[in-house]
Structure 1
Amino acid sequence: MDKEKILNLLGLAMRAGKLVTGEELTIGDIRSNKAKFVFVASDASDNTRKKIKDKCSYYNVPCTQSFLHSELSHAIGRTRMVIGINDQGFATKFKELIKG
């Protein structure tokens, strides 16, 4: 898994307006089937990680916890623990890059 490539792509998705940030907005997009892929910071609280992981598994949305809060925040330029990707093309590319 090439972390730098994934984080650069995350920044591109942010500039393209294809993601939503924050726990509540991401949960809303998961429920409405807009979210295609979700990033959760590995150092987020246990409650946040469990809540997002449970929602993702219930609604069949791929989710990763492979990145720290600082890495995700630096990539998008905002301090966030949870990021939802709303574009199928970006989501597919993230899945490919994470699987290696």
Structure 2
Amino acid sequence: MNDAKFYSFLGIIKKSGNLSSGYNTCEIQIKKGKGKMVLVAEDASHGTQDKFVNMCKANNIPFIIHGNKGDIGSSIGKMPTSVIVINDENMSKVVLNMLR
């Protein structure tokens, strides 16, 4: 898998309006049932990783722990970001296939 393509695709998802970022925003999206996939940075705190993994399992949402906060944040035009939620089913499938 090519990380450059992966991070570029995250930027495309952000521009399409189908990506939420940040701890609180992502938590709300998951609770509302809008999240189709969650990406948590490998260097996110263990508490953040555990919280979002457990939320995803409880809500039957696919999740991946991949990348680092700096790369994820810069790919979507933000500061370092620990967690993002993809809100589009098809785009989430593309991301999952890229990372598997």
Instruction: Classify the TM-score, shorter chain.
Output: over 0.9
Deviation at 1:40, TM superposition (A): 0.8
The unaligned stretches of length 5 or more in structure 2 are none
Question: After superposition, what is the alpha-carbon deviation per residue over 1:31-87, rounded to whole angstroms, capped at 9, x for unaligned?
Answer: 221000111111111111110111011111111111111110110010221110001
Normalization by structure 2: what TM-score? 0.93
Q: Following the alignment from structure 1 to structure 2, what is the Cα–Cα distance between the partners of residues 38 and 45?
A: 15
Runs of 4+ with deviation above 4 angstroms: none
| Matched-pair contact (CA < 8 Å) for 1:2–1:98 | no
Supply the AA of the counterpart residue of 1:42. E
Q: Following the alignment from structure 2 to structure 1, what is the Cα–Cα distance between the partners of residues 61 and 23?
A: 15
Which residue of structure 1 lines up, in the alignment, with residue 13 of structure 2? 13
* Number of equivalenced pairs: 99
Which residue of structure 2 lines up, in the alignment, with residue 44 of structure 1? 44
Deviation at 1:2, TM superposition (A): 2.2
Which residue of structure 2 lines up, in the alignment, with residue 29 of structure 1? 29
* RMSD across aligned positions (CA): 1.0
- In percent, how many aligned pairs have the same letter? 28
Supply the AA of the counterpart residue of 1:62. P
